[in-house]
Structure 1
Amino acid sequence: MSNKVVLYIAMSLDGYIARKDGSVDWLFDVEGDGGDNGYAAFYQTIGTVVMGRTTYEDVLKLSEDFPYADRPTYVLSRSEQPPAPHVQFTTEPVESLIPHLQQASDADVWIVGGGQVVQAVMEKRLLHEIEVAIIPKILGEGIPLFPEGIVPSNLKMMGTQTLGQIISIRYQVQI
């Protein structure tokens, strides 16, 4: 299985991926590289998208069009959800779902978020790479990228990239 499970996400300098209310408005006025800060190139490597239900609901608030409609997208939920366009809700545990998705695709599996999904995937040692875009803002509070109780992990830096005021760091998770 050569395709990877990748977390690709932006966070504030103090480690938050969203405000307490789930808002990511603080991401939109950051001086990047003038383009999409590498997003399109990253997205081309993705075969499947996985996110939590709260993240899914936040994504719906950001855009009229679902941004991942062209990829199979799985939304993890603790309870049954009514069908929705462009996504498959699932209560399947990540330890069985993620390997199944890796086998079903020729491309990488993107863990979009949020913190609880990241925690579950890391706890089951399913994550291969983490790419974090560090946004030069301090929020002071919010939803942390790595919630309290996350499994300790060692990472190996694979590269960095400066994108205007943003620093992107890519790590390999040492499993």
Structure 2
Amino acid sequence: MINNKVVLYIAMSLDGYIARKDGSVDWLDDVEGDESDNGYGKFYDSIGTVVMGRLTYDEVLSLTDVFPYADKPCYVYSRSKQTEDPFVVFTHEPLENLIPRLKDTSKGDIWLVGGGQLVQAFLEKRLLDEIYVAIIPKVLGEGIRLFPKGTVPDTFKLLKIERMGQIVALSYKV
């Protein structure tokens, strides 16, 4: 039996935002982390499948010319028809059907990249196993919240605290 987890791995401002109002994550560019990649490489190596919302997908495409997750199966949730992408499966399949299937077939954990609406849906349907939040010491004042209004209240168990330069990373079991 495969024991893959669904993990939310994400950066958040000190005041709870994962992006600016327009979806931009430029505020992450000048953060003082550790000497390496702040653990991203090790995390990414443990991932077998990537899942994200369409707005997050659009932001990822705006940041680079090369799709950064081309080496992994990637599912993008979208309620509207999208232009085909050779590296992505667009879907609106119910999460409660897709995620258990991916947990059984993925060659590693499933990474929930974002955004807030999808995080909210995963929590509501009890499909998230762990949350890893890198707290960035910046206050944005407004933007896209990690946990949007209406997110089901819950309590998590702290697994680990890490310091990487000015970044504090918190790992929780859901």
- TM-score for the superposition, normalised by structure 2: 0.97
Equivalent residue for 1:136?
A: 137
Amino acid at match of 2:155: N
Equivalent residue for 2:30?
A: 29
- After superposition, residues 61-72 of structure 1 pair within 5 angstroms as 61-72=62-73
User: Any conservation in 1 of the 2:49–2:107 contact (CA below 8 Å)?
Assistant: no
Gaps of 5+ in 2: none
Gaps of 5+ in 1: none
Equivalent residue for 1:111?
A: 112
Amino acid at match of 1:52: G
Aligned residue pairs, count:
173
User: Any conservation in 2 of the 1:80–1:90 contact (CA below 8 Å)?
Assistant: no
Rounded Cα–Cα distance in structure 2 between residues aligned with 1:100 and 1:54: 24
Equivalent residue for 1:159?
A: 160
Matched-pair identity in %: 65
Rounded Cα–Cα distance in structure 1 between residues aligned with 2:162 and 2:154: 22
User: Any conservation in 2 of the 1:130–1:171 contact (CA below 8 Å)?
Assistant: yes
Rounded Cα–Cα distance in structure 1 between residues aligned with 2:85 and 2:126: 30
List per-residue Cα deviations over 1:25-44 (Å, max 9, x = no partner): 00010000021100000001
Rounded Cα–Cα distance in structure 2 between residues aligned with 1:61 and 1:135: 22
- TM-score for the superposition, normalised by structure 1: 0.97
Residue 106 of structure 1: how far off its partner (Å): 3.2
Residue 96 of structure 1: how far off its partner (Å): 0.8
Equivalent residue for 1:59?
A: 60
Cα-Cα RMSD: 0.8
Residue 4 of structure 1: how far off its partner (Å): 0.3
